[in-house]
């Protein structure tokens, strides 16, 4: 009886577990949620709103949309955008698939070289291929005769530029996909009496299907929301994204720009939702015991694939080398002597060297602050207990930037931050806003990279550290930081390179004081100074290359010095 009452008393006194969620992590995530809402959700809402307003900010219902759809010139650009996007997607994805297959599943020589070359375009501003194409096939192009009657200005140039620009992303996605093919499944299928074609249909295709669809969606969205390339090499060929650019920059017609932005947002969001939906089905393939598939030694196929990779990487190198040469040649194609004059930028628009240093500043700020913020949010949203509602809200928000094209984000920012009634409108046109927009625009990929790296660290380490009396902070410094360091380096480089090369959002947000190199490329070309634009592109390319090289050297050295403990975690 005594025991019973004592036990009851004990039980009723245990109320200490009421706060199941740590206050600190909830607070951090709450701040993150507010920041996201202000810098992503609110601008998008304003964007949606303004599509239904006229220039006097009066509600006009669907009038803007009807105006858009009754304009034949604008309608034709929808059609143009569609077929260019689909064609570029089909070409790039199929080329990239074969290329990735050769790199992953086949024993060809020179893999390191082919891989490096395939990733080069990522380091260049998106306009570089178009500019190089002008030098190769334009009015004064070296190979102009090869095209005959066809003009490079127009769909052809646009398609080639997109293929060049999209190629690295597609190769990366497809390489991931081809790594998922299990040698044992291929063997099992053969053993069950299927021939090569049936085997690949039954095993290879399902394994890469997810990657293939993702690649297609990414390619399609990229093309449909980009305006830089058609602007440089499109001639009179109109595309949807280019219309937005013209409406906003040329005619200051914000409402029409908002309408087209929303139309552009639709395919991007649909693609995003579809991708999420099918990634759930991908879980079935989560088998950690995969032995990657290797094609059996077959000299003929290897030769064919080597030639294929050679041709592709030759094309990529041709474009890059042309751009480099063009930037040093005095007066293409009449005076081929070398000069550094084009790098002086004194007599051209666009901001010259100042814009280059602005870009560096933007890249550094975005990299440092972006990595810090992303790491903190990734850590708190994966590891610490917070209120589930808050956690899920942040989880949705961090994925959202992937679905918002830079162009749409830029316009939403103009509308939101340029509004006179906004208390923080003073940031408009400053470096701060550019940094914010860059971080938000490129948020998702680094977040996923870091989340993945953090999830690789076993939870038990936390418990062990706690039982040994270490604080979260020591744990963070001694365990999380070293273990996620390679991922952090990847994120740093990703943010830096993207901040250097980005045009899409930045072009709507810069002011004369904060001109950027990548924007300068577009403006220089617009003003007719193609050679200065090329020189600036090359500067950007070289800077990205240098950073990437630094990263590579650093990672290699670090991996070598920490190899002893890393080997065990990665084996």
Partner 1 sequence: MQIPSHLQNSRTGQAMPNSAGHLLSTLRTFKMAESKTVLEVMDIQKSFGSSRVLEHINLDLKAGEFVSFLGPSGCGKTTLLRIIAGLEQPDYGKVIKQQIDITHFNTAKRKCGIVFQNYALFPNLTVAENIAFGLHKKHWSAQEIQFRINELLNLIELPNIAEKYPNQLSGGQQQRVALARAIAPNPDVLLLDEPLSALDALVRLNLRQKIRTIQCQLNLPAIMVTHDQEEALSISDRVAVMNKGVIEQLDTPHNIYYKPQTRFVAQFIGSMNFIQTVVVDTHRLKMNEHSLIEFPHLNFAQDEHYEIAFRPENVKLVAGNESSTEYLNLAVRIVNTEFLGAKRRLFCVVQNQNHADDNMLQVDVDHQHIAVVQDGMYLQVPIRDLHVFDSRGHARC
Taking the complex as a whole, how short is the minimal distance between the CB of residue 190 and partner 1, in angstroms? 4
* Full DSSP string of 3-16: HHHHHHHHHHH--G
Q: Could you say whether residue 109 binds partner 1 (CB under 8 A)? A: no
Nearer to partner 1 by C-beta: 196 or 251?
196
SS (H, E, C) 375-415: HHHHHHHHHCCCCHHHHHHHHHHHHHHHHCCHHHHHHHHHH
3-state secondary structure of 347: coil
Nearer to partner 1 by C-beta: 4 or 289?
289
Q: Could you say whether residue 301 binds partner 1 (CB under 8 A)? A: no
Q: Could you say whether residue 392 binds partner 1 (CB under 8 A)? A: no
**Which one-letter DSSP state was computed for residue 65?**
H
Selected from 37, 66, 140, 195, the binder of partner 1 by CB under 8 A is 195
Backbone angles phi, psi at 420, to 5 degrees: -60, -30
Q: Could you say whether residue 176 binds partner 1 (CB under 8 A)? A: no
Selected from 286, 337, 421, 460, the binder of partner 1 by CB under 8 A is 286
Selected from 37, 76, 116, 287, the binder of partner 1 by CB under 8 A is 287
Selected from 63, 187, 302, 526, the binder of partner 1 by CB under 8 A is 187
3-state secondary structure of 139: coil
Token duo for residue 68:
């858009």
336, containing H or E segment:
strand 335-338
Nearer to partner 1 by C-beta: 207 or 348?
207
Which region among 254-262, 277-285, 364-372, 456-464 touches partner 1 (by CB under 8 A)?
Answer: 277-285
Backbone angles phi, psi at 56, to 5 degrees: -95, 15
Q: Tell me if 381 sits within 8 A of 398, measured CB to CB.
A: yes
CA distance 126 to 124: 6
Number of residues located near partner 1, criterion CB under 8 A: 23
- Residue bearing tokens 């740590």: 22
Angle at 437 between CA 431 and CA 409, to 5 degrees: 135
Nearer to partner 1 by C-beta: 35 or 188?
188
Token duo for residue 207:
């394994």
Q: Could you say whether residue 197 binds partner 1 (CB under 8 A)? A: no
Token duo for residue 554:
């650093």
CA distance 553 to 181: 31
CA distance 216 to 270: 13
Taking the complex as a whole, how short is the minimal distance between the CB of residue 109 and partner 1, in angstroms? 17
Nearer to partner 1 by C-beta: 205 or 331?
205
Selected from 190, 395, 472, 566, the binder of partner 1 by CB under 8 A is 190
Selected from 143, 285, 343, 470, the binder of partner 1 by CB under 8 A is 285
Q: Could you say whether residue 304 binds partner 1 (CB under 8 A)? A: no
Taking the complex as a whole, how short is the minimal distance between the CB of residue 105 and partner 1, in angstroms? 16
Q: Tell me if 137 sits within 8 A of 158, measured CB to CB.
A: no
**Which one-letter DSSP state was computed for residue 330?**
E
CA dihedral 230, 153, 114, 203 (to 10 degrees): 70
Nearer to partner 1 by C-beta: 144 or 190?
190
List the interface residues with partner 1, window 205-234 (CB under 8 A): 206
Nearer to partner 1 by C-beta: 207 or 516?
207
Selected from 184, 276, 294, 330, the binder of partner 1 by CB under 8 A is 184
Q: Could you say whether residue 188 binds partner 1 (CB under 8 A)? A: yes
Q: Could you say whether residue 284 binds partner 1 (CB under 8 A)? A: yes
Q: Could you say whether residue 148 binds partner 1 (CB under 8 A)? A: no
CA distance 508 to 408: 10
Nearer to partner 1 by C-beta: 28 or 181?
181
Q: Could you say whether residue 177 binds partner 1 (CB under 8 A)? A: no
Q: Could you say whether residue 280 binds partner 1 (CB under 8 A)? A: no
CA distance 476 to 479: 6
Using CB under 8 A, list all residues that contact partner 1.
Answer: 182, 184-185, 187-195, 202-203, 206, 283-287, 289-291
């Amino acid at each position: 009886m005594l025991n019973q009452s004592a036990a009851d008393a004990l039980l009723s006194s245990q109320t200490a577990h009421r706060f199941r969620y740590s206050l600190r992590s909830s607070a951090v995530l709450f701040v993150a949620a507010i920041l996201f809402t202000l810098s992503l959700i609110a601008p998008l809402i304003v964007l949606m709103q303004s599509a239904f307003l006229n220039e006097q900010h009066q509600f006009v219902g669907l009038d803007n949309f009807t105006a858009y759809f009754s304009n034949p010139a604008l309608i034709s650009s929808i059609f143009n955008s569609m077929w260019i996007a689909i064609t570029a997607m089909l070409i790039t994805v199929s080329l990239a698939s074969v290329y990735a297959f050769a790199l992953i599943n086949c024993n060809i020589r020179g893999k390191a070289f082919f891989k490096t070359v395939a990733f080069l375009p990522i380091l260049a501003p998106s306009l570089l291929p178009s500019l190089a194409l002008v030098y190769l096939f334009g009015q004064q192009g070296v190979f102009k005769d090869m095209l005959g009657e066809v003009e490079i200005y127009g769909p052809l140039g646009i398609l080639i530029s997109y293929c060049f620009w999209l190629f690295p992303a597609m190769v990366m996605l497809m390489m991931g996909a081809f790594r998922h093919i299990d040698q044992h499944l291929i063997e099992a299928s053969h053993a069950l009496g299927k021939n090569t074609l049936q085997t690949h249909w039954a095993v290879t295709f399902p394994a890469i299907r997810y990657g293939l669809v993702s690649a297609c969606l990414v390619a399609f969205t990229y093309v449909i929301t980009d305006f830089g390339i058609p602007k440089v090499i499109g001639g009179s060929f109109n595309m949807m994204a280019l219309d937005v650019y013209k409406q906003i920059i040329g005619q200051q017609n914000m409402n029409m720009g908002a309408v087209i932005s929303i139309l552009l947002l639709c395919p991007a969001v649909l693609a995003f939702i579809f991708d999420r939906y099918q990634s759930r089905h991908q879980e079935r393939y989560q088998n950690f015991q995969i032995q990657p598939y290797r094609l059996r030694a077959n000299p003929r196929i290897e030769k064919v694939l080597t030639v294929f990779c050679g041709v592709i990487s030759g094309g990529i190198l041709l474009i890059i080398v042309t751009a480099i040469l063009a930037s040093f040649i005095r007066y293409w194609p009449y005076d081929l002597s070398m000069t550094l004059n084009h790098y002086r930028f004194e007599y051209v628009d666009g901001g010259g060297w100042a814009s280059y240093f602005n870009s560096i500043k933007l890249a550094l700020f975005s990299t440092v602050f972006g990595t810090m913020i992303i790491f903190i949010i990734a850590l708190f949203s994966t590891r610490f207990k917070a209120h589930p509602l808050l956690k899920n809200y942040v989880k949705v928000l961090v994925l959202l930037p992937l679905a918002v094209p830079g162009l749409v984000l830029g316009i939403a920012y103009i509308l939101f931050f340029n509004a006179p009634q906004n208390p923080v409108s003073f940031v408009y046109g400053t470096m701060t806003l550019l940094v914010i927009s860059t971080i938000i625009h490129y948020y998702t990929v680094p977040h996923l990279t870091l989340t993945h790296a953090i999830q690789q660290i076993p939870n038990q380490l936390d418990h062990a550290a706690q039982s040994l009396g270490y604080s979260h902070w020591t744990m963070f410094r001694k365990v999380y930081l070293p273990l996620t360091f390679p991922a952090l380096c990847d994120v740093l480089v990703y943010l830096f390179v993207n901040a250097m090369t980005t045009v899409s959002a930045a072009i709507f947000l810069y002011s004369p004081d904060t001109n950027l190199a990548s924007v300068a490329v577009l403006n220089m070309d617009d003003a007719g100074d193609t050679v200065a634009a090329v020189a600036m592109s090359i500067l950007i390319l070289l800077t990205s290359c240098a950073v990437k090289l630094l990263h590579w050297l650093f990672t290699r050295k670090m991996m070598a010095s920490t190899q002893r403990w890393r080997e065990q975690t990665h084996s």
